[in-house]
Structure 1
């Protein structure tokens, strides 16, 4: 099967491509505008098209040229704070861009769609860990754009016979075990790389946005999933969709979480660096606790996390340098 991976040069997309390329029976085509992705993360031999999903003419050219059988979508803008400051930009990219993609899929009769969604659609959850059947109530534009797309997918199945799987998760972390690719956002917004940038001398301190939440130490609790585990879940979802031809939505979570202070303290223990922190005001749209369960994904997809503790994410003692699990460009290769 020919698989079009939209956003395949980005963080999660590039790890998906690495894992999918080891599987038999798939031909991969990457579509990416390289606004956040990196050309160096694309393996040799993988077909690449530089394009934006908001460019419908480019999409039609790519679909006509490659004739994909399925689409995996990782092209969303992902910062909660940025979405609050620029909601129109987020709806344009995350919603309008996905609509254009689905319209071209419909024209070329492509029926399978794997959507990288988010557990942020649940807002402030009433039950933790968040079950798969929780009621979506997003509290920021980012989460709402993903929820809007999920609704569009459901209506598109009803109207056009599209088959899809939505995978909802929180904080992706870590890097490929080869060390060739990892987390490299510009600007960086994810907690673990920000913490290690302090230890690397690239910033003076790490910010803690609010220490007065109703949690064990006053800081937000978040769910962390290793990026390779996420890639494996997407591959299992694709195989399930092709075999069963049945649309589904799954949460991908650890069922547990760590406070911001716990992650910072773990990094201090690993690096031996004091890693100064600075408490700042809460960010608009930040829930206190976000932890997802993954019971249905485990039962139906047979998905099981390989990296299942914070130590397995890379927070373990080592002698000479920072683990590639934590940050992909620790050796300054620019990946």
Structure 2
């Protein structure tokens, strides 16, 4: 049996990953999620297939509770607010990564969900682009990558573009597409920052999961569609009512090259515009 831990397993991306992992009878899947942004209903259909579910922070789990340690850890749990003020959330992200590394078997493998936020204000990036985060969230992801590379024998690091898809919690303002979907379904007006002139590279959640499960090299990969979309164009496409809000200091344009991941046989299946048209 492959003993697998998924942190953040009741969240947006994590719940889709858990559903995929339990399909393999050789996987023994454990989930830790403090439910700060996740919801146990996201994994309700597969709940009975889990070895256990702990509704706590990773750093609050005593090592004796999960002995023997894990063969594979998918570390997705994080506070993912790029507009966060102060360093409290970043410190929480760093602490959780340091804690989860200690739960891995000596020859085990950790799969880490990093982010394009590590690049900051760079327009076209590859896995070799320099680190230049402009948010505390991006800084925490960068520091976590360094910690994993130093302390884990086997690892795969995935730097996500802007993930969209089912179960994205738009009511909590988590992700542009999630907010669009929530506002459209509930007939509410959304606030658009920076006049909607920011460009982002969007990737479907199930395409992310496919990469997480199938690519196992000790390496770093970008998960993206390699196409940038302007925020205002996507909002107009959705038909949701909107108003302009204040300007925020954030990345204006980013596009992630995905050729390295494509060379492994992976490819994206659904574009963000197709998803929005289906709402």
Task: Quote the Cα distance in structure 2 between the aligned partners of 1:261 and 1:40.
Answer: 32
- TM-score scaled to structure 2, two decimals? 0.91
Q: Which residue does the alignment assign to 2:7?
A: 6
Q: Does 1:304 align with 2:267?
A: yes
Structure 1 residue runs without a partner (length 5+): 176-181, 212-217, 242-246, 269-274, 317-322, 324-335
CA contact (8 A) 1:51 1:59 kept: no
Name the structure with the higher strand share.
Answer: 2
Q: Does 1:206 align with 2:190?
A: yes
Task: Quote the Cα distance in structure 1 between the aligned partners of 2:134 and 2:177.
Answer: 24
**Quick one: which of 160, 168, 173 aligns to 2:159?**
168
- The alpha carbon displacement at 1:209 in A equals 1.0
Task: Quote the Cα distance in structure 2 between the aligned partners of 1:39 and 1:199.
Answer: 24
Q: Does 1:53 align with 2:52?
A: no
Q: Which residue does the alignment assign to 1:30?
A: 31
Structure 2 residue runs without a partner (length 5+): none
- The alpha carbon displacement at 1:69 in A equals 0.8
- The alpha carbon displacement at 1:16 in A equals 0.7
Aligned residues, how many?
A: 274
What SS class does the counterpart of residue 133 from structure 2 fall into? coil
CA contact (8 A) 1:173 1:192 kept: yes
Q: Which residue does the alignment assign to 1:197?
A: 182
- The alpha carbon displacement at 1:7 in A equals 0.8
Alignment of 1:258-273 (within 5 A): 258-268=229-239
Task: Quote the Cα distance in structure 1 between the aligned partners of 2:259 and 2:229.
Answer: 20
- The alpha carbon displacement at 1:51 in A equals 2.5
Task: Quote the Cα distance in structure 2 between the aligned partners of 1:314 and 1:307.
Answer: 11
- The alpha carbon displacement at 1:156 in A equals 1.6
Q: Decide whether aligned partners of structure 1 residues 59 and 225 sit closer, same or farther in structure 2, where only a CA change above 3 A counts.
A: farther
- The alpha carbon displacement at 1:168 in A equals 0.3
**Quick one: which of 203, 209, 217 aligns to 1:231?**
209
Residues 201-252 of structure 1: per-residue CA shift (max 9 Å, x gap): 453x2222113xxxxxx61011111111111110013xx24xxxxx211111
CA contact (8 A) 1:167 1:252 kept: yes
Q: Quick one: higher RCO (CA 8 Å, sep 6+), 1 or 2?
A: 1
Residues 253-295 of structure 1: per-residue CA shift (max 9 Å, x gap): 1111211111112111xxxxxx3221222212x1111221111
Residues 37-95 of structure 1: per-residue CA shift (max 9 Å, x gap): 1111221322322221121xx2413421x64211000111001112xx131x2232110
Residues 167-186 of structure 1: per-residue CA shift (max 9 Å, x gap): 001211112xxxxxx12255
**Quick one: which of 144, 149, 165 aligns to 1:149?**
144
Alignment of 1:317-328 (within 5 A): 323=279
